[in-house]
Structure 1
Amino acid sequence: MKGKLVRTEGHLANIIPIHLDASFFFERAVRSLDRNHVDKALKYFRKAVEYEPENPVNHCNMAGILSEKGDYKASNAILAHVLDVVDPSMTECYFYMANNYANMDQFEEAERALVTYLEEDTQGQFMTEAEEMMELLYYELDRPAKLNRIKSRQGVVEHDQARELLEEGKFAQAAELLEGMSPDYPDYLAARNNLALAYYYMGLFSKAKETIADVLEQEPGNLHALCNLAIFYQNENRTDQVLLLIKKLRAIVPFQHEQVYKLATTMGILGQHDAAYIHFRRLLKGEETATDPALAHYAAVAAFNTERYDIAKRLWHHVNKLDPGSEVARYYLDGLEAVIQGVQEPSKLSYHYHLPFDEQFKQWEDYGNGIPEEMKNDPLIRSSFFWALRHGDQATKLQVIHALGIIGDYEVQQALQLFIDEPGEEPALVKAAQAVLHDLQRVEHPELNAEVSQPLTPKAEALKTVPKVSKKEITGIRLGKETSPHWQAVVDRALQMSEARAELQQEMERIWTDYVSRVRPDLSGSKQIEGWAAGLEYLASKNRSRPVTYQSIAERYGISASTVSKYARQLNQICSVTPPNG
């Protein structure tokens, strides 16, 4: 713009007029922020709002500066004005408000704002941050948020919940959740594939195959569906169809971890052990998967099945180091040695990270009714039981029925009821299943039998069946044969980092002793030790009313605040420590 000559008191002056508008003040505000002049920036944003009151961006910028200055209440007032008057579609304002409420320790209000953001926002710009905040609020409020859906991830939440249920061996619950998703998300093929797996693990092959057919009709090249279909065909002894699918699958070289894993396990199940070995070894080279004991076991099985005995031996020793509390590697190493010595004929091993079915029964018989919860809840053990209930011989089915009676949860009751309703089963087996189911229902509903005592809560039941470890055993952990040195390392690390007084030291030792006696965790890495120690210090400090925050703990341990929250929450769930909010 050229200057204009004007006369001022007899003089000529070169004047450049300034056009004052919202853009002018916005630029001045940004320049002030760059120079860390926060008060000036706030003043300029206020002027920008005056010139363009209908522009929500400047309102939000002003709210952001007020939040930085610690005036969270004023910041939220502006954000509420944006949502009520200026632009109700600015759903990210709910996320900003949740942050402000959390900084004011108003966790109920923070939760409401955050839930509204997740349920109304379509873009998911702050999804990662929102999930981390949700985890913090879970601990502060000592309960999960009442979140019905995440709009930016339609169907993803339900699918993730279903996947967790599958991983926990809760196949009937996973199927129910995925069935409910199907009408709303007909194109969500990953959910349909997992529904087929849920049916498969429950032994409902016809429903599993129908579901896979639906997926392949929409996407003929879907790798997960092709793998599942090949396994279904193998179960039906449809050799020609299996061979055609094997030829197609052997030509595929996927790069995504999940697809490589799926293809590797499928090829193993189909007896293509050479291909399975190649894919499993590819996965073991990955940084994130190199320390997975189950994956190393699968690679060992593939090596054994292709007569690479030296490699199999090295891999099972590696499994034993990664998972020292498991008996799986030791069992297979003994079998491998018998094969090498010529004492035992080699036979193909299955791709499951648990003991063979007969060996599981021996262990269950040894444990009796005191079976540890982690064994009851092992999804591979549970799926093998459900499988055998459907497809085993009569003697095996009878064993499974009695074993399931020990587990006795919702999944078991569903499986037993399906077995009873199945036409063509042996009357004696149906009668045994009815008896077990009846006993389980009497315990769950004592009004059905006056002689049945009040049932224990799930937590009390877990404490009844898991063998306790005395405090003496925990504090003297280095001397015990069956205890992990990492357990003591956790409390040692917490004591070292906290430099705590005697009272807090005792509280940390008390909580950790209580937790280990109930859960007996297997800690395999230094990162886990740091996480447990940080969570332990936070929980003990809160329980003793000492001022502490996730962030302050996280900074000292060199981990994230969400990690501190994660481990503190796990401790609190088992030990029922309920610290004050703060």
Structure 2
Amino acid sequence: MKKISIPKHISDHKVIPLEMDASTFFDRAIKSLERHQYEKALKYFRLVVEKEPDNPANYCNVAGVLAELGKYQEANNILQVVLQDVDPEMAECYYYMANNSINMEAFEQAEDYLIEYLRHEPEGEYSEEAEEMLYMVAYEMGRLPKQLIAPLPGLREKHEEAEWHLEEGRFLQATELLEELAKENPDYLPTYHNLGLAYFYTGKLEKAREIVTTILEADPNNLHALCNLAILSQHEGNTEMTKGIMDMLKNLVPVQPAAAYKLAVTMGMLGEHQVAYELFTWLLKVDDQPEASLYHHAATAAVHVGRLSVAHRYWRRAAWLDPRSEIPKFYLEQMETWMTEPGSIPNLTCYHYHLPFEEYMLKINQGETIEKVALEYEKNSLLHTSLTWALTHGDRQTKMQVLTFMRWIRHKEAEALLRNFLRKPVEDDELKQMAFFALRHMDAEPPYEVLYKGEMLALEDSTNSQEQKWQQVLACLLENMDNYERPQLQDAKMLWDFLRQFSEIVIRKVEGMAAAIEYVVAKYYDLSLSQVQVAEKYRVASSTVARNAKLILPLLHHYFKQI
């Protein structure tokens, strides 16, 4: 190779090094960020750290770029170095780490960081955002934020009680409790989700929609609110809106079990059974101790998508987990027929952990007319199968619910079922009395044969003056309660019918009994109506209202258990 010689006059010149300080690298890092060249920006920010190792802001810049690159754990490691070695008082690092943890779906870790930030900086730059995020991550985990559990020990218990009322179908009790919770803790979002559902199930659709709209205005992507809006829209017959929301929901992939469960139930109720099935089976895999109700949901979805053997296995598991419940037993018995005759499978619209007839009782609570629900008896084979099964195999409480429901069904098959029930030697007298009243209510032709103490008796129906007075009470009640909401009026009518059939109250004054029924219903709904006010309205003495209310109140708990 030829050697190249460098002229002396050139080689004698001194090379002056260019000073590259922290600000130079910082400027280059910013320019790289503006061009979205994150790897270059990271390299320059690291050089800034080398030049100024005691400046905590430099480390935060490195962590910020790492987060942009999706390296969230590495970013948090850098921020931990700041807190441990550089500046332990730089509390905003906790806020940055919370954001990174949320991106990694490490919600409990994010919650701890947020609480730590708020502890150091209760009025800090990010305090409002941190508080909102705290509720968000706790909601994703299906519970209250940790910092709220100690100062508000009764909130979680009250909310769980309200959820239990919802699950058991006691929507009025749930509504009352949730409204109280909303006043006490207006920032706790899950209360409003459940209150919206309670309003929906009690027929207060305008209030339900108002709550959903308010939530979505603040958070347009709120999963629970979108699910509730889809169900509301379907109930109102708004097909276009329902489809739009449903198409959006189908594309979601929730990572938290609580969100997945809400989405699965909603998809099932909207008829998207394949989506529901996939979500429920995923929940069964990730849940360490699945409840019987979850197996029931998954089994229902499995039937809809034709996975009968899977459904059978899930209901068997539900029966093992909940041996006292009649629900999995009923469906397992139906599966014996469905697996041999797939064409006999009815449309299982119910995803609730109920027997089918209980679903129709819920519809009555929602404000559907009893007549409309009763018409389903002819069309829905699963409904009358569940009624027959429950009267034969159900426990006493279940039989009481069936007999309460059946009085609205004017059908020969239902009548024959009740007549046969009266002849059974194993049923107690109170249940037979309920069956007798149900036959009378459906205008079945007397006599009614009943087996009593080993002897078959023929009971005749007698319409006496008391029956006429009860009819007058209803007319008086409807005339004076025309300004009430439909669910409230529906409850008044059903309470009237319950008292007419099952109480031994002797009516002295028609207006006094009507006034007492209105007063009791108003109190149950927490309406502002005194005994004096209702007495003036019906032109009776307040003592008459008080006396009749005292006769009704002991029966009220039993009545609301029946509906």
- TM tier, shorter chain? 0.3 to 0.5
Larger Rg: 2
TM-score under structure 1 normalisation? 0.41
TM-score under structure 2 normalisation? 0.42
Report which structure shows greater RCO (CA 8 Å, sep ≥6).
1
